[in-house]
Homo-oligomer: A and B are copies of this chain.
């Protein structure tokens, strides 16, 4: 591997329990990380991690995750400094002679893996370990509750190592934060008998725990009054000031590791529209039980982390830029996951509750946005396919609708069919049945309906789930619905079967007299417009190919034939649109001058959903595959769909390029179309990794929509786990 990535250590990464919609975010310098819960951004809390200096017991050095000063808030209590006696210094954070400095940048190194994020500075190592492993099926007849408890415990773990081998005195370390929750107080949890775990938490919702081990907690206006004893006894009860710390002493002459759990807990009903509690409330009654469990199962989590890290390490075909991006995207994915239990309340019982898997949409916090579901599917099918099924069930049961259709400028008097909403709600509010939070009538751009795209997404998700799990019984249960989906898709082409060309030609009545868009909602017509869009056309083709196979299995040969014919029509239309250079316009039929990489995106579905013959260069759709391969060759050139740095530009008419979709198309290019150019591939990977590390972007952890490398939308985003597809590549390094 030619390079070592990342190029600098100061970028935020989300460290998140599975399904807690929570993140211990760390990496951006300053108070730009911290313990966030149900938020679409970092908590913006100072985080304090430091160690007594080897040379000077009065000097402490800390990682740069706060602004280096901690005492301003004391001024709200003192005042009139020139007239009244100054407040005792140590209340303000200034123990005479004791100083805390920030480590210099060059002292700090970092290593990010799928499940670990390790900071080293001087004799201090601070390692965050996150749970990256399968969530057992909570809807199974006899769920594995022990495994579910381990998977859903709302905590991430920390190892704080002090290498004190070269020092002959014990040295004090600390780990703490200032809580940004507007409603509750920082407080210590310290057992009366000095046994058991101790904590430094805010309200009921978040905080740090450690085993006994001589760890203590404190709160004050600054770091120093907590870590250095002051006059008098019993001052660890002080309840004011923004700084909260756990601290302890590393013994002289050896290397010692101290264990912490960073815990989250949201009690009671957390949603509106429909009541739900977090699934983890089945197993934990509050922060303290979370902290105790996480610390007791520390070794279990380490073993799981080893396995997750091995997943990347063992994939020898990946370059460092790829490994970095896979790890980063997995971290951000879990930050948006929210595993709920639907049911009425109060009182809260678990009887009759229904597990409900939600992935929030990063900064936007829309819930189970379908056009993200379809992209994150590949990762979920690898890890825990039942969560994909759970989300699909909810689209089936509550978030579908039936429409009519219109031609451009026409009225909505053509039969439509079933489709699915863009999302299921926003910021913990479930929208009414049949409606998303996003879609609005009367538009032609952003916030319009995505009726056809979500229909196609549903079909592809069902087929991929069916193939990955072999859960044919579930699919068979929805055979009728899949028939309706085919009808709906055909109707969107043309009401007269004889006039169909395999491509969407009518818009939903849900748009009023407007027109539908695609998931590329903030792009120009090259990708934003749904009608006649080649991206959606190829995805529709994939849907028909997969439907045909499913109908065959259901014994519905008429429907299978219908689907197959439609797939052929679509393929023929697309192939016919290629110009002499092999370029296929983004909006076919309408004569667009734009050319887009995602023309190839839809090929992923036959490949992963058991229809590889359909994407084979010598298969039934060989012409389509050849045409798309030629198109890809034609666009993957500087000045067309490559940025100057070698990064991929999804459309030649836009600087807005989406990393999640780039990752997906990279997989299709290499693995489906056999488009191998190791040098260009690595250059692109390094360019994309470089975008994420640009100082404008690092606050937002992983972001999707990049304008010439600058994150402009879809920040703090879960969708990047399309990168996990790379793990399955044969490798061509």
Footprint of B on A, CB under 8 Å? 37-39, 76-80, 83-88, 91, 180, 182-185, 187, 203-204, 230-235, 237-240, 267-269, 272-273, 285, 346-348, 363-366, 425-429, 431-432, 435-438, 440-447, 511-514, 521-525, 528, 653-656, 705, 707, 712-713
Contact = CB atoms under 8 A, between A and B. Distances in A.
B84 A656 contact: yes
Given A425-B239, A441-B234, A656-B84, A446 B182 contact: no
Q: Say what secondary structure dominates the interface of chain A.
A: loop
Contact of A442 (B231, B446, B523, B654): B231
A516 to B, nearest CB: 13
Contacts of A187: 272-273, 429
Contacts of A655: 80, 83
B511 A232 contact: yes
A522 B88 CA distance: 12
A50 B360 CA distance: 35
How many chain copies does the complex carry?
2
A233 B457 CA distance: 26
A240 B443 contact: no
Q: Nearest 7 pairs between A and B by C-beta? A: A239-B437, A232-B442, A232-B441, A231-B442, A232-B512, A185-B427, A347-B347
A346 B277 CA distance: 14
B184 A441 contact: no
A185 B514 CA distance: 27
Given A77-B447, A79-B707, A84-B523, A235 B441 contact: yes
Nearest to A189: B272
Given A91-B440, A187-B273, A440-B235, A522 B85 contact: no
Contacts of A78: 445-446, 522
Contacts of A232: 440-443, 511-514
Contact of A184 (B272, B366, B511, B512): B272
A76 B447 CA distance: 12
Contacts of A525: 85
A83 B513 CA distance: 24
A670 to B, nearest CB: 28
A521 B79 CA distance: 10
Contacts of A656: 79-80, 83-84
A573 B646 CA distance: 88
B426 A91 contact: no
9 contacts: A77-B364, A79-B656, A79-B713, A80-B712, A87-B447, A91-B440, A203-B429, A234-B441, A237-B431
Contact of A239 (B204, B431, B441): B431
Contacts of A347: 346-348
A74 to B, nearest CB: 9
A239 B80 contact: no
Nearest to A221: B447
Given A187-B273, A512-B233, A238 B522 contact: no
A88 B239 contact: no
Contacts of A285: 346
Contact of A37 (B84, B183, B425): B183
A426 B233 contact: no
Contacts of A269: 204, 267-268
Nearest to A239: B437
- Which residue, A346, A347, A512, A524, has most C-beta atoms of chain B within 10 A? A346
Contacts of A366: 240
A428 B84 CA distance: 31
A522 B435 CA distance: 57
A711 to B, nearest CB: 10
Nearest to A76: B713
Contacts of A446: 77-78, 87-88, 91
A546 to B, nearest CB: 31
Given A183-B37, A712-B80, A238 B447 contact: yes
A38 B91 CA distance: 26
A428 B203 contact: yes
Contacts of A268: 267-269
A713 B75 CA distance: 9
Nearest to A192: B432
A421 to B, nearest CB: 10
Contacts of A273: 187
A228 to B, nearest CB: 13
B442 A235 contact: yes
A76 to B, nearest CB: 6
Contacts of A426: 185, 239-240
Nearest to A180: B182
A524 B86 CA distance: 9
A77 B528 CA distance: 13
A705 B79 contact: yes
Contacts of A184: 38, 272, 427-429
A39 B238 CA distance: 20
A524 B83 contact: yes
Contacts of A238: 437-438, 440, 447
A453 to B, nearest CB: 17
Contacts of A235: 440-442
Contacts of A436: 239
Nearest to A41: B182
